[in-house]
Amino acid sequence: MTRIYIAGHRGMVGSALVRVAKQRGYSEILTRTHQELDLLNSQEVDKFFAVEKPDWVFLAAAKVGGIYANDTYRADFLLENLKIQINVIESAYKHNASKLLFLGSSCIYPKNAPQPIKETDLLTSELESTNEPYAIAKIAGIKLCGAFNSQYGTNYISVMPSNLYGIGDNYHPENGHVLPMLLRRFHEAKLNNDQTVTVWGTGKPKREFLFADDMAEACFYLMENYQAADIGELINIGTGEEISIRDLAYLIKKVVGYEGEIVFDTTKKDGTMLKKMDVSRLEKLGWKYKLTLEEGIRETYNDFINNPDVRL
Ligand SMILES: NC(=O)c1ccc[n+]([C@@H]2O[C@H](COP(=O)([O-])OP(=O)(O)OC[C@H]3O[C@@H](n4cnc5c(N)ncnc54)[C@H](OP(=O)(O)O)[C@@H]3O)[C@@H](O)[C@H]2O)c1
């Protein structure tokens, strides 16, 4: 039986990987909380791998945060993510893990990359400056996996998911992503019988959203069916479908059952008009997402209602 180590299993991505691993019948799933194993500590990481000897490693542990945290704690974001990656990837190699999957994100791509963003756009022009340290760490992780593959013939896969949402999301009113923040806002407006909900900007920008459990399915699909050499240096994971913030707001209003009006505050900035991944490489390998956005939002809303702990 394949022994699987999921690093970062309490995070949104890691917990989705654990759920999907169980659904797919894997029973030997190794997890350690941050308190039990600090991935910044190379000796402890090495000891863990020496004792547990996982066959497959999913690296979903990272220091993550919103724009403010990324821009303020620039050194911490660069240093901690580099250390976590180096410790886990080096120990996986030293203790003969047969496969590893490294989680990156779409912020590794240049700020002005043509849309939809292709894997080949990596390192073609400058990055968004606010989260540059995080992106540089992630790019180093991709390059480290690639370098191990070419020098030592390892099987390390790097995946770049689009915007994720789902069970265990971050609903913080300022630090979260747009989808969970709107979900929270509409829910509170419903409870308070507010007449209106204000959405910042014109609602015209378009974004792509992928349910975290679907993303986890894609990760297992790749690990089970492909070798790193079939995949290339990195692979995008997304739906390939975008929705305007306006339509997203109306969809969330419907799922939540809010009956008031939506007001768009056009004095607020819109941001980039379109952010979307080119997922044709993944589709050619035979994978497509399962849940529609509405189904995914319903699952997420159920989780939000039933787990008061996730509401900060
Ligand atoms: N969420 C998204 O929309 C998204 C999109 C694309 C890619 N990704 C990628 O997916 C990965 C995971 O993201 P996520 O959203 O699941 O983040 P998350 O919810 O913050 O989870 C990260 C996990 O890593 C753990 N961790 C952090 N530092 C650690 C350390 N030094 N030792 C041990 N554990 C540590 C955290 O534990 P503690 O909380 O206890 O510190 C947490 O459980 C990241 O690489 C991210 O770039 C996420």
pLDDT for position 296: 98
Look at residue 284 and tell me if it is in a domain. Answer: no
Look at residue 288 and tell me if it is in a domain. Answer: no
Instruction: Give the active site residue among 5, 109, 134, 221.
Output: 134
With a 6 A CB cut-off, is 10 part of the ligand 1 pocket? yes
Task: Write down the pTM of the prediction.
Answer: 0.96
Look at residue 30 and tell me if it is in a domain. Answer: yes
Based on the domain organization, do 264 and 203 belong to the same domain? yes
The three-state (H, E, C) secondary structure of the chain, written as one string: CCCEEEECCCCHHHHHHHHHHHHCCCCCEECCCCCCCCCCCHHHHHHHHHHHCCCEEEECCCCCCCHHHHHHCHHHHHHHHHHHHHHHHHHHHHCCCCEEEEECCHHHCCCCCCCCECHHHCCCCCCCCCCHHHHHHHHHHHHHHHHHHHHHCCCEEEEEECEEECCCCCCCCCCCCHHHHHHHHHHHHHHCCCCEEEEECCCCCEECEEEHHHHHHHHHHHHHHCCHHHHCCCEEECCCCCEEHHHHHHHHHHHHCCCCEEEEECCCCCCCCEECECCHHHHHCCCCCCCCHHHHHHHHHHHHHHCHHHCC
Look at residue 150 and tell me if it is in a domain. Answer: yes
**Angle formed by the axes of helices 212-225 and 12-23, nearest 10°:** 60
- pLDDT per residue of the chain (312 residues) written in tens, 0 to 9: 999 999 999 999 999 999 999 999 999 999 999 999 999 999 999 999 999 999 999 999 999 988 889 999 999 999 999 999 999 999 999 999 999 999 999 999 999 999 999 999 999 999 999 999 999 999 999 999 999 999 999 999 999 999 999 998 988 877 778 999 999 999 999 999 999 999 999 999 999 999 999 999 999 999 999 999 999 999 999 999 999 999 999 999 999 999 999 999 999 988 889 999 999 999 999 999 999 999 999 999 999 998 866 655
With a 6 A CB cut-off, is 311 part of the ligand 1 pocket? no
66 alpha carbon to ligand 1 midpoint, in Å? Answer: 12
Based on the domain organization, do 115 and 184 belong to the same domain? no
Based on the domain organization, do 159 and 82 belong to the same domain? yes
Based on the domain organization, do 75 and 222 belong to the same domain? yes
Q: Say which CATH number the domain at 191 has.
A: 3.90.25.10
pLDDT for position 30: 98
In 3D space, the residue among 133, 131, 12 whose CA is nearest the CA of residue 68 turns out to be 131
CA distance 190 to 178: 18
Based on the domain organization, do 201 and 108 belong to the same domain? no
Look at residue 145 and tell me if it is in a domain. Answer: yes
10 alpha carbon to ligand 1 midpoint, in Å? Answer: 8
Q: Range of 254's domain?
A: 169-207+242-273+293-310
With a 6 A CB cut-off, is 235 part of the ligand 1 pocket? no
58 alpha carbon to ligand 1 midpoint, in Å? Answer: 12
Based on the domain organization, do 77 and 201 belong to the same domain? no
Concerning whether 26 is annotated as a catalytic residue, the answer is no
**Counted domains in the chain:** 2
pLDDT for position 148: 98
pLDDT for position 174: 73
210 alpha carbon to ligand 1 midpoint, in Å? Answer: 17
With a 6 A CB cut-off, is 38 part of the ligand 1 pocket? yes
